[in-house]
Amino acid sequence: MAPAIWVDADACPAPVKDILFRAAARTGLQLTLVANKLLRVPPSPHIRAVQVAHGFDAADRYIEEAVGAGDLVITADIPLAAAVLARGAHALEPRGEWFAPGTIHERLQMRALMNDLRDSGVMSGGPSAFSTADSRSFAAALDGFLARRTGR
- List the chain pLDDT tens, one digit each, 152 residues: 678 999 999 889 999 999 999 999 999 999 999 999 999 999 999 999 999 998 878 999 999 999 999 999 999 998 999 999 999 999 999 999 999 887 767 776 776 666 666 667 766 666 678 999 999 999 999 999 999 877 65
Q: Which domains does the chain have, with CATH numbers?
A: 5-150 (3.40.50)
Predicted model pTM: 0.85
d(CA 105, CA 111) in angstroms, rounded, equals 10
